Amino acid sequence: MALRERILADTKDAMKAKETARLSTLRLISAAIKDREIAARTEGGEQGGLTEADLIAILSKMVKQRQESAKAYEEGGRLELAEREEDEIRVIQSYLPRQLDEAEAAAAIDKAIADLGAESIRDMGRVMAELRARHAGQMDFGAAGPVIKARLMK
Q: What is the pLDDT along the chain (154 residues), one digit of tens a residue?
A: 688 899 999 999 999 999 999 999 999 999 999 999 888 888 765 556 788 888 888 998 999 899 999 999 999 999 999 999 999 999 999 998 888 888 888 899 999 999 988 888 898 899 999 888 888 778 878 888 898 988 888 7
pTM of the model: 0.74
Q: What's the pLDDT score for residue 42? A: 82
Instruction: Report the C-alpha gap between 63 and 112 in whole angstroms.
Output: 26
Q: What is the number of residues in the chain?
A: 154
The strand ranges marked E within 1-154 are none
DSSP calls for 106-148: HHHHHHHHHHHT--SGGGHHHHHHHHHHHSTTTS-HHHHHHHH
Q: What's the pLDDT score for residue 1? A: 65
Q: What's the pLDDT score for residue 68? A: 94
Instruction: Report the C-alpha gap between 125 and 80 in whole angstroms.
Output: 41
Name all domains of the chain by residue range, CATH numbers in brackets.
Answer: 3-93 (1.10.1510.10), 102-152 (1.10.10.410)
Q: What's the pLDDT score for residue 99? A: 82
